[in-house]
Chain A
């Protein structure tokens, strides 16, 4: 069990640029989740996939955000036209339907200058 991996671990970008993050879930986990965590707060849910289908999206996921999970394996989260308010830690988690426990990756820290 290699755990959930996320790349890159850190990303610094200028306002207005597009960024893309990748998440590789634990193998055989069919559910994948994205959360955002800002300083001093708990993680906030963004979106959820079961296999390749995106089944839930938070109101936090504005039209500048898009997530995909082609073939039900890895997932990408893209932010277009980044804003300073997008600066946060982006966490990915995965779970297996039978256990319902979400296991988190190390996160990608985004800084928008």
Chain B
């Protein structure tokens, strides 16, 4: 079985400050990890993914995430937050090579960037 935990329901950060949205995962095997963002009444937008290789992954809109195998974490980061980054963020995982392509999502973290 695979699972994702996003320990914070909400993260508040001041505009211009660095932001971190936490994600830990559990899989039997090697993980493929993803971050998506959801704006109100809209579908999910892909931000970035880790498949293999460099542990630091860079994605859209200045976001990046670091894969840490020993801590089973994949935290999302951005050096300087914008008000427009305020949205709901989802971490997702699937197992590589298992013949299954279903993503398992966390419950989401609401990010609020305060002007």
Contacts and interface: CB of A to CB of B under 8 A. Distances in A.
A42 interface: yes
Interface string B73-115: 0000000000000000010100000001111111110000000
B106 A104 contact: no
Which range holds the interface residue count of chain A? 20 to 34
Contacts of B106: 42
A48 B51 contact: no
A102 interface: yes
A27 to B, nearest CB: 17
Contacts of A106: 42-43
A56 B102 contact: yes
B25 to A, nearest CB: 13
30 contacts: A4-B43, A33-B101, A33-B102, A33-B103, A40-B107, A40-B108, A41-B107, A41-B108, A42-B4, A42-B90, A42-B107, A43-B44, A43-B105, A44-B105, A45-B102, A48-B102, A56-B100, A56-B101, A58-B102, A91-B43, A93-B44, A100-B49, A100-B101, A101-B46, A101-B49, A102-B46, A104-B46, A106-B42, A107-B42, A107-B43
